[in-house]
A and B are shown apart, each in its own frame.
Chain A
Amino acid sequence: MILCQSQMQRRSAKSFLEEVLLKVPDMPQEAKDALLETVDDKPGTKRAAKLAGIIAKAAKDAKES
């Protein structure tokens, strides 16, 4: 009996982050889209700062709304 022949689909960083963000409810879609756009950026300190900026803005917008 063959128990396991299914092929596993590799996940891209983008689909991975999409999956992660689905589990973070307190975040506007606009901010999620902005985070997803950073996936194509060069990894490193600059991208980390960009991510921090997007998250901080999302927190601010959420508070103001």
Chain B
Amino acid sequence: MARERLTKITMQAFRGVRDAYEIDLPQSQSLLMYGDNGTGKSSLADGIEWYFTGEIELLAKEGRDHAVRHLGAPKEQQTLVAISTNGELGGSCTPKSSNKLAIDAASRETFLLRGRTIADFVDKSKGEKWSALQRLLGLGAIDELRADLQKARSELKRSRDDATSKTEQAAASVKAQKVEPDKIDEALAKLARSCGFEPQETIDDYFRLDLKALMSGAPPSASRKTVNATILAEIEGSKAAIDAAAVKKWNEVVESVSAGDASEIDLLSAAVRWVKDHPSSKTCPLCDKKVTNDAIKTRLAEVLSALQEKSGRLLNAEAGAKGVEGSIQQIAGDRARWKKSAREIGLDLPSAPDAPSLKSAIAERKAIDLAAVEAYAKAIKKWNDEAKSALAGQNFDAEPPSTRNQAVEFGQLLVAAKQWTDASNAEIQAEHAYELADAIFEECQAEQKKYVEEVLDQISAEVARLFERLHPTGAIGKVAVETWGDKGIELAVDFHGTRQRPLHGVLSESYMNSVAIVLFLAMARTFNEHLEFLVLDDVVNSFDVTHRGRLSDLFIEEFKDWQLVVLTHDRYFFEQIRRRVKGWATFQVLGWSYERGPSLREHRGATDVDAALELLEAGATGDAARRGRRGLEHVLKELCEGLEVPLPYRRGNDNEFREIGQLMSGLRRLLKDDSRGKQFLAAIDNDLRAIEADAQSVLNAEAHASDQGASTMEVRSTLERVRAFDEMWTCEKCGSRCWKEGGVRCRCGATPFPPPVPAKK
């Protein structure tokens, strides 16, 4: 599947654009845009966000949706964003119609990072981070499948436990006839011979015999004795266990999950059901605001996911409590049956105690009366003792064995044997089904864990590598993304030898922002399947000059195969990128007005000198000189930074305001103190002096403000000198500065420090 890039962005009556605004990127090249605050740069990011998500996050809150439209746009002009791509995702969107194909394609992609929300992901709780990752990975459907497999396993476990209980009861009935279950065949064969039958191969074969003739008439005393013994054996074999621990767990959970949590879980579950049942709804069911169904669904799923842990504990405790309720019903049912059977043989057993009902407490999520449950368990034990004593005290007259009695005995054993074998078979089958469900569920758990770990390992490796590029010499160690509990992920970092998570306790805001940026980049690179562009809107605000430089390097070098849309109000960052890239569309937003929206100027040249020469051609000599001066300052600042020129200490941004003369002196000092630089300095010193003199006169803004400004020709020759000085420090082969990566050579290694002095023309 080919990922797509932007080839054209058109906006009309949208945000800061009153009429129309179009950015053409015919080669799907990257875009760099510089402009002051409030000049409409972010409208471009808003347009891309609106088209690919159906909303603008900043305006998603209640009462802000009208701000999508420019207030001064003429009535007949429709609010519209049109996007062209080099694939199939292009199209247009208006407030009434979105491009579903594009929104679906982008729904699990990472493509937009803004300065104002840069640390949003880092600031999320571990559960929210998990939800976000789950959305990116599409883990929701997998997790629902895992949950359903877990429920299926629980259901099959209950069936297995029921089958075991039935087998035990059937075994007790067999034992009541003084036969061990594994000796049934022998016992049946013996009785069959006594009755004059031939022993049969299987129990089913015995059932094909006609025993009716021998079984007619009232039950003999021997059968009453057997019934008595059967009841006694069943009571002795019954466990009558009530799981008080499950009741205690239920009570703990319902007391810890507040009513608010429980009602939120119910409300959100109901809301999720509502969304699924109303797939075409375009309005919020609570406030009637217009909103896409997908937007509601995504938000509900995120909030619901955060409550899932609580919900899971509640459901587990509920399953336990329901199990206790089932046990109590079973206990009561058994005692009623035994009392009825005993009455048929003339014995009146005591009435069973009243069973407590747990149903309403479970339904209403209230605590169960544990004392009542324990009292019932005691009362049952007492009933068992009394019933056993009554049954054991019965005397039955011994009768000589007769064919008729033996036939009855045979019939009763046959029925008990049949019940036992059927129950045993059902138990084996239920056990096998449970084992199979357990195996599938365990594999599912392991596979999900493995998948998440693989993903996190991959993101972590990428995050760590990119972070190290931004902070190569810091005390901050490896940054990683790790699982935290069953439903949580968190960022962790090695900090002075200890593992710290989350990062908030040890990292400054700018470091956190670094992590946020590299995490964004790592996620886009790891997961994007449909989009091959990244929109970076004012992302360097919290970075100092050094880190702005590293960040621009990182974008240019690591993401050269991507289309980047870089919007910035930072001149230095803009120049850093503009100087180093080829083929990008580069714009400067000159200003913004209510009537016209943003006004753009395309930068065709790569450097300030190119721009200055353009201005010179246009007759703006003073502007050209100012621009040339800025270009010279920029080259000198870059040299001083890259060569680590020793300059007098200045606090913070004061570094940015050094004079050309001071930068030049620093550069001279460095070259003079370097064995390789001394000769180089001697060769270029005249040029340096000429440039210094030009900076004082030709490029002096104040001189141009008076009548004594330099001529066009003087400015042109100065600009050529500045250009030659700039080019001298740039490798002809790779275009990088010659001090890069290792301190002495350019990136490709062809140009050493100091660079060769160009021959005089």
Q: Which residues of A contact B (CB under 8 A)?
A: 2-13, 16-17, 19-21, 23-24, 26-27, 35, 38-39, 42-45, 47-49, 51-52, 55-56, 58-60, 62-63
Complex: how many Å from CA A43 to CA B146? Answer: 10
Chain A residues with Cβ below 8 Å from B155 are: 48-49, 52
Q: Are A55 and B436 in contact (CB under 8 A)?
A: yes
Q: Are B429 and A60 in contact (CB under 8 A)?
A: yes
Chain A residues with Cβ below 8 Å from B432 are: 59, 62-63
Q: Are A43 and B440 in contact (CB under 8 A)?
A: no
Select one of A12, A23, A26 contacting B436, CB under 8 A: A26
Q: How far is the CB of B530 from chain A (nearest CB, A)?
A: 11
Any A CB within 8 A of the CB of B455 = yes
Complex: how many Å from CA A8 to CA B458? Answer: 8
Select one of A13, A27, A63 contacting B428, CB under 8 A: A63
Complex: how many Å from CA A13 to CA B152? Answer: 17
Chain A residues with Cβ below 8 Å from B153 are: 52
Any A CB within 8 A of the CB of B511 = no
Q: Are A45 and B151 in contact (CB under 8 A)?
A: yes
Q: Which residue of A lies closest to B144 (CB)?
A: A43
Q: How far is the CB of A36 from chain B (nearest CB, A)?
A: 11
Q: Are B137 and A20 in contact (CB under 8 A)?
A: no
26 contacts across the A-B interface (CB closer than 8 A):
A3-B461, A4-B465, A7-B528, A8-B458, A10-B108, A11-B138, A11-B142, A13-B141, A13-B142, A16-B145, A19-B447, A20-B440, A20-B443, A21-B440, A24-B436, A24-B443, A27-B440, A43-B144, A43-B147, A49-B155, A52-B433, A55-B436, A56-B156, A56-B159, A56-B429, A59-B435
Given contacts A45-B151, A52-B433, A56-B156, 6 further A-B contacts (CB under 8 A): A16-B145, A21-B443, A24-B439, A44-B148, A58-B436, A63-B429
Q: Are A20 and B444 in contact (CB under 8 A)?
A: yes
Select one of B145, B454, B455, B528 contacting A43, CB under 8 A: B145
Going nearest first, the 9 A-B pairs with the smallest beta carbon separation are: A48-B151, A59-B433, A43-B144, A13-B141, A51-B152, A52-B152, A59-B432, A48-B148, A56-B433
Any A CB within 8 A of the CB of B558 = yes
Q: Are B276 and A51 in contact (CB under 8 A)?
A: no
Complex: how many Å from CA A58 to CA B439? Answer: 13
Chain B residues with Cβ below 8 Å from A17 are: 145, 444
Q: Which residue of A lies closest to B465 (CB)?
A: A3
Q: Are B529 and A7 in contact (CB under 8 A)?
A: yes
Chain B residues with Cβ below 8 Å from A39 are: 141, 145
Q: Which residue of B lies closest to A49 (CB)?
A: B155
Chain B residues with Cβ below 8 Å from A45 are: 151
Q: Are B436 and A8 in contact (CB under 8 A)?
A: no
Q: Are A8 and B526 in contact (CB under 8 A)?
A: yes
Q: How far is the CB of A16 from chain B (nearest CB, A)?
A: 5
In chain B between 438 and 496, which residues have their CB closer than 8 angstroms to a CB of chain A?
Answer: 439-440, 443-444, 447-448, 451, 454-455, 458, 461-462, 465
A-B contact count (CB 8 A): 117
Q: Are B443 and A23 in contact (CB under 8 A)?
A: yes
Given the known inter-chain contacts A19-B447, A20-B447, please indicate yes or no for A51 contacting B148, CB distance below 8 A.
yes
Q: Are A47 and B439 in contact (CB under 8 A)?
A: no
Chain B residues with Cβ below 8 Å from A44 are: 148
Chain A residues with Cβ below 8 Å from B437 are: 51-52, 55
Any A CB within 8 A of the CB of B525 = yes
Q: How far is the CB of A23 from chain B (nearest CB, A)?
A: 5
Q: Are A51 and B465 in contact (CB under 8 A)?
A: no
Chain B residues with Cβ below 8 Å from A19 are: 447
Any A CB within 8 A of the CB of B291 = no
Q: How far is the CB of B78 from chain A (nearest CB, A)?
A: 36
Given the known inter-chain contacts A4-B458, A52-B156, A59-B436, please indicate yes or no for A10 contacting B529, CB distance below 8 A.
yes
Any A CB within 8 A of the CB of B527 = yes
Chain A residues with Cβ below 8 Å from B465 are: 2-4
Q: Are B527 and A7 in contact (CB under 8 A)?
A: yes
Complex: how many Å from CA A56 to CA B435? Answer: 10
Q: How far is the CB of A5 from chain B (nearest CB, A)?
A: 6
Select one of A7, A12, A24 contacting B440, CB under 8 A: A24
Q: How far is the CB of B317 from chain A (nearest CB, A)?
A: 17
Complex: how many Å from CA A42 to CA B145? Answer: 10
Any A CB within 8 A of the CB of B192 = no
Q: Are B152 and A55 in contact (CB under 8 A)?
A: yes
Interface-centre pick from B137, B439, B440, B447 (highest chain A CB count, 10 A): B440
Given the known inter-chain contacts A19-B447, A42-B276, please indicate yes or no for A48 contacting B152, CB distance below 8 A.
yes
Any A CB within 8 A of the CB of B149 = yes
Q: How far is the CB of A53 from chain B (nearest CB, A)?
A: 9
Chain B residues with Cβ below 8 Å from A10 are: 108, 137-138, 527, 529
Complex: how many Å from CA A13 to CA B141? Answer: 6
Interface-centre pick from A2, A10, A27 (highest chain B CB count, 10 A): A10
In chain B between 674 and 693, which residues have their CB closer than 8 angstroms to a CB of chain A?
Answer: none
Q: Which residue of A lies closest to B522 (CB)?
A: A4
Q: Are B444 and A47 in contact (CB under 8 A)?
A: no
Q: Which residue of B lies closest to A42 (CB)?
A: B276
Q: Are A47 and B440 in contact (CB under 8 A)?
A: no
Q: Are A60 and B148 in contact (CB under 8 A)?
A: no
Complex: how many Å from CA A62 to CA B435? Answer: 13
Complex: how many Å from CA A44 to CA B269? Answer: 11
Complex: how many Å from CA A35 to CA B439? Answer: 14
Complex: how many Å from CA A52 to CA B149? Answer: 8
Q: Are B152 and A59 in contact (CB under 8 A)?
A: no
Q: How far is the CB of B215 from chain A (nearest CB, A)?
A: 33
Select one of B149, B156, B451, B529 contacting A11, CB under 8 A: B451
Complex: how many Å from CA A42 to CA B194? Answer: 61
Chain A residues with Cβ below 8 Å from B429 are: 56, 59-60, 63
Chain B residues with Cβ below 8 Å from A7 are: 525-529
Q: Are A49 and B152 in contact (CB under 8 A)?
A: yes
Q: How far is the CB of A47 from chain B (nearest CB, A)?
A: 5
Q: How far is the CB of B106 from chain A (nearest CB, A)?
A: 14
Q: How far is the CB of A39 from chain B (nearest CB, A)?
A: 7
Q: How far is the CB of B272 from chain A (nearest CB, A)?
A: 10
Q: How far is the CB of B741 from chain A (nearest CB, A)?
A: 12
Complex: how many Å from CA A45 to CA B269? Answer: 13
Q: Are B461 and A2 in contact (CB under 8 A)?
A: no
Chain A residues with Cβ below 8 Å from B440 are: 20-21, 24, 27, 35, 55
Complex: how many Å from CA A29 to CA B527? Answer: 32
Complex: how many Å from CA A2 to CA B235? Answer: 73
Chain B residues with Cβ below 8 Å from A26 are: 436, 439
Q: Are A16 and B108 in contact (CB under 8 A)?
A: no
Q: How far is the CB of B155 from chain A (nearest CB, A)?
A: 4
Chain B residues with Cβ below 8 Å from A27 are: 436, 440
Q: How far is the CB of A15 from chain B (nearest CB, A)?
A: 10
Q: How far is the CB of B445 from chain A (nearest CB, A)?
A: 9
Q: How far is the CB of B1 from chain A (nearest CB, A)?
A: 10
Q: Which residue of A lies closest to B450 (CB)?
A: A19
Chain A residues with Cβ below 8 Å from B276 are: 42
Complex: how many Å from CA A5 to CA B465? Answer: 11
Complex: how many Å from CA A20 to CA B432? Answer: 18
Q: How far is the CB of A64 from chain B (nearest CB, A)?
A: 9
Q: Which residue of B lies closest to A41 (CB)?
A: B148
Chain A residues with Cβ below 8 Å from B528 are: 7
